[in-house]
Structure formats: structure tokens, C-alpha cells
Amino acid sequence: MEIIWYHPSLNPQPWLDGMRQRLPSVRIRQWQPGDSAPADYAIVRSPPVEMLAGRALRGVFAMGAGVDEILRQLRTHPEMLADAVPLYRLEDTGMARQMQEYANWCVLGWFRRFADYHQQQRQALWQPLPDRERATFTIGVLGAGVLGRSVLESLRQWGFPLRCWSRSPKQIAGVTTFHGRDQLADFLADSQVLIDLLPATPETSNLIDGAFLSALPRGACFLNLARGAHVVEADLLAALESGQLAAAALDVFQVEPLPAASPLWSHPRVMITPHNAATTLPHEAMDYIAGAITALEQGQQPRGLVDRQRGY
């Protein structure tokens, strides 16, 4: 069995060695331009079209939870990957806990008003602020996938009202669920904190615009852990300036790295991290990929199969 591997920036050796340890009978190599030798599986991040085009692969594994880069390439170059070749993504492999950590830190910080106190510290101002009411500090999560459900589960311990919106109906214990465009306004109306964990699809591109943000309660907080393409950044800034949003924590952006000239960098009510809310953990990812390949070879279907029409 032959596996080809490609990542535009990672050191390949730990991945090649790690996969050989997990699948000793398999041959794995780093793909290089001009390599057209046969392969059965591919492990990739941002693969060039020529790497996959024309290959009779049994499966392609993306080294991340999102596959929007590959699907975007396929819209321009449909010949890159035949419809019959299954595409898999990492559903968790350690990323869920990282998302939980990030979301809990932000939610608790906003609930306890730590950012407000930090601003007062800069002014040497000793002024206790009114406490927020836990019973009305409703957390709304956009997206009911593996990561969305995981974040909701981790927030349950704090006693906040929890709600979730997804494209289709879902049932989540202890969470008020909404679905479809018809129920989006009701979902937003009481979400004091909005957490974006939606997949990147054509339908979610620029979804979070001025009208969307205006449907939130005034003074709401916004956390984007999903994709920068979901947010119209000019509208986000306007909502912060008007007070419609009290704060935002942003890990992803329309253009990455975020340009130095972006006003988001210096906004006093914005926290920025460089798209590292949840990073791919190599050992966990290789465990999943090795297990998935073994399952496929045994005629079983592993988790993580991407529906190309839905985009996740």
C-alpha cells in the first residue's frame, strides 16, 4: 500500500515516521512536484491540483477539521478529485478540548467582566461593576457538529442558559435548539454571547453581517472560532463602535495573516489570536488516520467522511 503526504509548511519527517510506526507494512512518502507514481491514499493540507488529479485513490485525509480549501479548489478544478474518491476530515483528534478551553475562557471572562476591569486598570480606576445575572447570560452556539456540541457540553457546568442553531433539527440534552433560517432570528434574540462554530460553506460565507449582528441583544459578545469568511468585518467593527457588540474575540479572519493595517488590531474591545484556537495535534491525528485506513481496508466506513455538497 502506498501513501502520499503533503503539507505546504510542516516538517514531513515526524509525520512520515509516525505513520510508518502505526502502519509498518505501508510505504509513505512526501509528495513532490512531478511525482506521478501510484498511490492508494493521500494525507494533505492545501494540496496542489497536480498531486491528486488523475489518481485512483481509495481515500484522501485532510489534516484539519475544515476542508473548505480543498472544496474551493474542486469548484475551480473538478478534475482534481474524482467524485468516487472519499474525502475525510479530522472531527476531533484533540481539537474539541482546545475549543472548550478557548470558549470557556472567553465566556467566563465576559461574564465576570474581566476585560472591563482590565480597561479600568489602565486608567488606575478602582470601581466595582454591576454583576451579570447568570440566569440571563445566555450562550448561543452556531453549529451543532462535533466541536459545537463539545463546547456546549463544557459550558453546561457553569449554569448558563444554552442554545444552539443548526441547519437541520438537532436534539441536545440541556440545550434549547433552533434550526433553519426561519428560526435564526429567535435564536439570536436572546444570545448574550454568540459563538460561531459553523462549517465553511457557500451558504455561510458573509453570513454574519450588520443585519445578523443587529438581531443580537444590545451589548452582546461575539466569539469566532470557525472561519473568517463568515464575518463581514466592516459590519463587525460598526457593531462594536455603536455598542451593539460589547466585545469580540476573533481567532479567524477574512484575510490571514490579518493585515497590519486592520483596525481590529488596535480596537480596545477586540481580542485577537492567530488562528490557533485548536491546532492539529500530530499524534492524535495520525492515530485517527491510521485507524481509518485500517477500517477502509477491512471494508468499514470510518467517521469523518465529508459530504461535498454540504461542505463538511
> Active-site residue among 58, 179, 269, 275?
275
Confirm whether 275 is a catalytic residue: yes
Sign of CA dihedral 20, 24, 28, 29: positive
Decide: 137 and 193 in contact? Cβ < 8 Å: yes
Whether 227 sits among the annotated catalytic residues: the reply is: yes
The catalytic residue among 227, 283, 303, 310 is 227
Catalytic residues: 227, 275
